[in-house]
Chain A
Amino acid sequence: MKLFTKYNRINITATICIFLAGSVAFYFVLDYVLIRQLDASLRSEKQEITEYIQEHQQLPEIQNTKEQWIQINKTDLPIEKPILKTIPVYNKAEAEQEYIRQLSFTVSVNQQYYLVAVNKSETETEELLKLIILVTISMVAMILLFNYLINRRLINAIWKPFYNTIHNIKDYAANKQALSLSKEPIDEINLLNESLNSMTEQIHKDFYALRSFTENASHEMQTPLAIIRSKVESLYQLAEGKEIMMQQLLSIEDACLKLSKLHQSLLLLTKLENKQFVLKESIHLKSILEQKIEERKELFESKKIDLQVNATDFEMQLHQHLSEILISNLLNNAIRYTALGGTISIVLNPQTLTISNTAIAGSLDTEKVFTRFYKASESGTGLGLSIIKEICIAAGFSIAYRFENETHYFIIDFQA
């Protein structure tokens, strides 16, 4: 919900409630005042009648009008106090229920009691009331409408810098420039912008600090590894005739190699997550695929793998080095998990790349298959598939793993 909508909803609801309560109170007050006025005029009529009788010792001539009429009847029982009441009558002419206000009292003329009832129609009062209510309601409606229109213009104008700020934040990414939001005349928004500017600047700095730390840490570790490796190489020269030494040196070298690969992989993953690659090079996956297969020719031969490739050539926007890593990792993975004499099948078209291989064991854990350090066997760093996944995410591809008919399928969808 937009700020304006929310504000309007509250504003309009509150205004309507206040005006409703006000109108009801206004109605009752007005009603009370008008009835009091009516009563006052009834009393003054009574006064006139009483005074007339006292003066003339006879009943006055009665002139009834539509608004006011007087009934005088003989009675035996005088009432002590005058009675005021509202009574409903049926108006035949208008065919509707009407209310009248009646003041009844007794007078005595020549020892004879008379019951006098002075009646006044309330219709006029009601008409007035109706008119007043109508005027009130239309005023309320007009106030609401103008309020809405003014608020809309005003709020939109006042909050415009705020929406600009939001728009800028939305596009912000840690690896890009820090935000430089403009100065605004409104203090609160100005404060917000300033805080955001300094916050993103800090994020930016931290991001680069972390990035160079990761890179440096990774690089610093390569030099000691290089030393270990070069020393191992020198020791090989002394290992002739000592089989155990040769084997142990080879394990040291293997461990070195693995460690160095692990570092490179972690560094690559960090870079991918930090979106440090620009995926704008035009590449041909088919030729990369062919090249990487050619490099692994001996591997396929030594495992007696039946390789089936069905690839179409097309150009796409990616990163040369990343696409090589992508294909290499997929192939390495497929080769590693194919049994001797198994089959690897690769289908490449502009929509998808599918690599499938006959499995050694059962299905991989579909939940964990792309998580870091998930390994179905001892070899490898356990980062190959995570790297594949991160490259896919960076490139906007989707990747899925399926296990069917004792075959692993890795499907990359370029369109997703």
Chain B
Amino acid sequence: MWYFVKKRGLKLLIIEDEFSLRQSMVDFLTASSYLCESASNFQDALEKIELYEYDCIILDIMLPDGSGLNLLKSLKENNKSDGVIIISAKGALDDKIRGIEMGADDYLAKPFHLSELAVRIAAIIRRKSFQGKSHMTLGNIIIDIQGKRVTVENKELDLTQKEYQLLLYLAINKNRVLSKNAIAQHLWGDDMDFPDNYDFIYAHIKNLRKKLVAAGTEDCIRSIYGEGYKMQIT
């Protein structure tokens, strides 16, 4: 996916007791060129954490034989620098705050979009392993994630904040169909309720496409019947 993924496979550990969800995440993230390992219980997860190093650990808090928060504690006690993103059914604030306080890098409440998870993982890995220096290349588009700038053929694109977020989201989930729901939730969070037509998402997509095409890229954002979008990069 990213150029550095090919150089050194990025390793993820997915700790989730529910088989189906674990499988979905493994499939999705493997398709994004990550090397995925998974654990379905506390003991298994603890062994893996102690033996190996991961670029990012996706951690479910509620495990049948222990709390994911204890895994987090053990990570910190062993001075491991693995990135951790908590996924929990508890949207409860205290869990979120506790998780972050105990050293988790991010928190995602269930149910979430896999594409959102991919974005969060990418952000954590970028912060952890490159000290913020990272660029992403898609065809002739270069995204400077640290500087939040986008250049095409050395010309900087003038994007609004939402357009930039949208582009990054599409880029991380490139070659994948993303629903309007997922895009809306990524850009606006989930405490908003959206009108049924999502017109304003279309407006953002349209503007972004126009700017990209004007800068000389191929028209890579495709609309899937107006219900979803996909960034096609070969």
Verify if A68 is at the interface (C-beta below 8 Å from B).
no
Number of interface residues of B (CB under 8 A): 47
Task: Evaluate contact between A303 and B111: CB separation under 8 angstroms.
Answer: no
Verify if A234 is at the interface (C-beta below 8 Å from B).
yes
Task: Provide the residues of chain B in CB contact with A219, threshold 8 Å.
Answer: 62, 89-90
Binds B, one of A88-96, A98-106, A118-126, A252-260: A252-260
Contact of B110 among A222, A233, A234, A254 (CB under 8 A): A222
Chain A contact-residue range equals 35 or more
State how many angstroms separate the Cβ of A291 from the closest Cβ of chain B.
11
Contact of A227 among B21, B28, B87 (CB under 8 A): B21
Task: Evaluate contact between A237 and B176: CB separation under 8 angstroms.
Answer: yes
Task: Evaluate contact between B225 and A243: CB separation under 8 angstroms.
Answer: yes
> Which residues of A in the span 308-362 have a Cβ within 8 Å of any Cβ on B?
321, 324-325, 328, 332, 336
Cα separation A243 to B177 with both chains bound (whole Å): 13
A232-257 vs B, CB cutoff 8 Å, 1 = contact: the mask equals: 11101101100100110110011011
Task: Evaluate contact between A250 and B227: CB separation under 8 angstroms.
Answer: yes
Binds A, one of B33-41, B70-78, B139-147, B181-189: B181-189
Cα separation A31 to B200 with both chains bound (whole Å): 108
Task: Evaluate contact between B89 and A379: CB separation under 8 angstroms.
Answer: no
Verify if A301 is at the interface (C-beta below 8 Å from B).
yes
Cα separation A239 to B228 with both chains bound (whole Å): 10
Cα separation A321 to B28 with both chains bound (whole Å): 32
Task: Evaluate contact between A246 and B225: CB separation under 8 angstroms.
Answer: yes
Cα separation A39 to B227 with both chains bound (whole Å): 123
Cα separation A234 to B24 with both chains bound (whole Å): 8
The interface residues of chain B, by DSSP majority, are classed as mixed
Cα separation A223 to B182 with both chains bound (whole Å): 18
Contact of A246 among B182, B188, B228 (CB under 8 A): B228
Contact of A234 among B28, B109, B227 (CB under 8 A): B28
Q: Which of B28, B93, B179: most chain A CB closer than 10 A?
A: B179
Contact of A230 among B25, B179, B190 (CB under 8 A): B25
Binds B, one of A20-28, A77-85, A164-172, A292-300: A292-300
State how many angstroms separate the Cβ of A178 from the closest Cβ of chain B.
23
Verify if A264 is at the interface (C-beta below 8 Å from B).
yes
Cα separation A250 to B89 with both chains bound (whole Å): 22
Verify if B113 is at the interface (C-beta below 8 Å from A).
yes
Given A219-B89, A229-B113 in contact, is the A379-B196 Cβ separation under 8 Å? yes
Task: Provide the residues of chain B in CB contact with A253, threshold 8 Å.
Answer: 179, 181
Verify if B51 is at the interface (C-beta below 8 Å from A).
no
Given A379-B193, A380-B193 in contact, is the A230-B225 Cβ separation under 8 Å? no
Task: Evaluate contact between A246 and B227: CB separation under 8 angstroms.
Answer: yes
State how many angstroms separate the Cβ of A402 from the closest Cβ of chain B.
23
State how many angstroms separate the Cβ of B111 from the closest Cβ of chain A.
4
Cα separation A376 to B88 with both chains bound (whole Å): 33
B18-29 vs A, CB cutoff 8 Å, 1 = contact: the mask equals: 101100110110
Task: Evaluate contact between B195 and A302: CB separation under 8 angstroms.
Answer: yes
Cα separation A243 to B190 with both chains bound (whole Å): 26
Contact of B111 among A229, A301, A321, A336 (CB under 8 A): A229
State how many angstroms separate the Cβ of A212 from the closest Cβ of chain B.
12
Beta-carbon nearest neighbor of A298 in chain B = B200
Interface residues of B (CB under 8 A from A): 18, 20-21, 24-25, 27-28, 62, 87, 89-93, 109-115, 162, 176-182, 188-196, 199-200, 203-204, 224-225, 227-228, 230
7 residue pairs of the A-B complex, CB under 8 angstroms, read: A219-B89, A230-B24, A232-B179, A233-B113, A299-B192, A299-B195, A379-B196
For the complex of A and B, the 3 pairs showing the least CB-CB separation, nearest first, are A230-B24, A226-B111, A219-B89
Told that A230-B24, A236-B176, A243-B227 touch, could you supply 6 new A-B pairs with CB distance under 8 A? A227-B18, A230-B25, A233-B28, A246-B224, A253-B179, A332-B192
